[in-house]
Chain A
Amino acid sequence: MLTDSKNKTQVAETSLQEDEESPFLNSLKNFFLEVALIVSFTGRFFKELFIPPYEFNEFLKQCYFVGCKSLPLVAITGFIMGLVLTIQSQPTLAQFGAESWLPAMVAVSIIREIGPVITALICAGKIGSGIGAELASMKVTEQIDAMEVSGTNPFKYLVITKILATTIMIPLLVIFSDVISLYGSYVGVNLKGDVSYQLFCYQVIEKLDFMDLFPAFIKTFFFGFAIGLIGCCKGYNSNSGTEGVGKAANSAVVISSLLVFILDMIAVQITSLYN
């Protein structure tokens, strides 16, 4: 319960020592402090996750905010992604006489890679920054302290519910985005050609197998977890007044976007071992 004040003390001590060291050492130290903060925050998440009380109503509310409120943005970007990918790929495939492969190629690209990564990046921008800014402003205006003083554990109420919501809802948003992208691709194919909906679906389903779908789906849980975790970590640990709100939102987007790429690279390496 007193962890936050300990963190503040440590941060103050660290910043006093920073002045006496070279910029390179400061950057290095800040990097490791950042990593340590994220690791300890993750540890606290798993430690408190299984301890009652469970904030189920708040979790459902967060699922609504993370999921339903992001649907229009994800739908629009998904549709454009499928449409553009199809239009851009069509001339190249036509040169090799492989135009009939277009639906399958676009489907594999979207489902295995582009859909999860682009949707995760959009969610990092919309949801991650939102969580970071919300928690940071709650911290600045003492709302988190007020929650703690009223006998509610703010970490469980605010942090755990948000991380669980992003972990569960972002995979669903990715599936939704994939479906809309394939529809965008169907529209793109029919801009210059005439392919029936049944034929398009048949070509897509025929070329997709379990190893296209399963790893792509599993990695989205990790993307969702990373986006929620970083947003909450940066917001919950923000310090320097109203300036900290902007910094928390900004660094939540930057770090979670970077983590999405790193997790994607790891997922691809693991998947390639089984292929």
Chain B
Amino acid sequence: MEAPTDTSEPFPGCKKPSGDIIVAVEGLDISFGKKNVLREMNLWLQKGENLVVLGKSGSGKSVLIKCLVGLVEPQNGSVKVLDKNILELNNKELNSIRKKIGFLFQSAALYDSMTVRENLEFPLRDSRDLSKDDMTAMVEEALDNVGLLEAIDKMPSELSGGMRKRVGLARTLILKPELMLYDEPTTGLDPITSKEISNLILTVQKKYNTSSIIITHDMECAKITANRMVILKDGMCSAEGTFSELSQSQNKWARSFFE
């Protein structure tokens, strides 16, 4: 890992790593009306890496990962995920690439009208070669991985915040994604449950050999999960490095996250 980038002013992008890159964001501009959310943003993710993205609320972190799955369209720039340019894909190709990406939403986004079992079966509905028994086995395996097999027939409204996050994680894991995107996975959880979720993210990475981008404000989560971190400021990448490098950085903005 290279030395941390210590600049007091934001710079438009992080340094390109040399390894096998599975996410490449280059020159990304996103604005809503007159508000520029991301400006000339560059970001790369290596295979097998856990990249934590930090930044103030409204700095465009969630918009950045929504852009990776085609939920938000940028004004300029290119977004390559698993060697496909997301912005040039048609609906069918985009859906095919989305099945290789797991997205854990901030609120877990469980379907309220479905049981936990139905929530987990939902991403499998297009897999016509799967029998009912196969589906049940996959659902049970995914729930077992997050330690919630007993909640299989419960409704989302019967689950606690931490359980909902776990079920949301199980739902994203059921298709065995190559890339995981976590949008504030520990927000709203107590410290103990937050630590459990952070450890779960690491377990998932090891078990399924996934690469992950983790958006978080939780420094404990960042410390546990990050191989590398980037800090956003004013829609740009302001600092980059490992947890220990950034915590000792001369960049005041970067250091303020650790104080």
Give which listed residue, B66, B96, B106, B112, contacts A151 with CB less than 8 A.
B96
Is A53 at the interface (CB under 8 A from chain B)? yes
Assess the A145–B33 pair: CB atoms within 8 A.
Answer: no
Which chain A residues border B91 with CB–CB below 8 Å?
1, 153
Given contacts A145-B105, A151-B98, A151-B126, whether A12 and B111 have CB atoms under 8 Å apart is no
Is B70 at the interface (CB under 8 A from chain A)? yes
Is B80 at the interface (CB under 8 A from chain A)? no
Tell me the minimal C-beta distance from B118 to chain A in angstroms.
11
Assess the A143–B111 pair: CB atoms within 8 A.
Answer: yes
Is A196 at the interface (CB under 8 A from chain B)? no
Assess the B103–A149 pair: CB atoms within 8 A.
Answer: yes
Scan A1-32; emit 1 where CB is below 8 A from any B CB, else 0.
11011101100110110000000000000000
Assess the B107–A145 pair: CB atoms within 8 A.
Answer: no
Is A141 at the interface (CB under 8 A from chain B)? yes
Q: In the complex, what residue of chain B is closest to A143 when comparing beta carbons?
A: B109
Which chain A residues border B103 with CB–CB below 8 Å?
146, 149
Given contacts A141-B109, A145-B109, A149-B101, whether A1 and B33 have CB atoms under 8 Å apart is no
Which chain A residues border B99 with CB–CB below 8 Å?
150-151
Interface centre among A6, A142, A151, A153 (most CB of B within 10 A): A151
Tell me the minimal C-beta distance from A52 to chain B in angstroms.
11
Give which listed residue, A141, A145, A151, contacts B123 with CB less than 8 A.
A151
Assess the B66–A145 pair: CB atoms within 8 A.
Answer: yes
B contact residues vs A (CB 8 Å cutoff):
31-35, 66, 69-73, 91, 94-96, 98-99, 101, 103, 105-107, 109-113, 122-123, 125-126, 171, 175
A contact residues vs B (CB 8 Å cutoff):
1-2, 4-6, 8-9, 12-13, 15-16, 53, 134, 137-138, 141-143, 145-153
13 sampled A-B residue pairs with Cβ under 8 A:
A1-B94, A2-B73, A5-B72, A13-B34, A16-B33, A16-B34, A145-B71, A145-B105, A146-B109, A149-B71, A150-B99, A150-B122, A152-B95
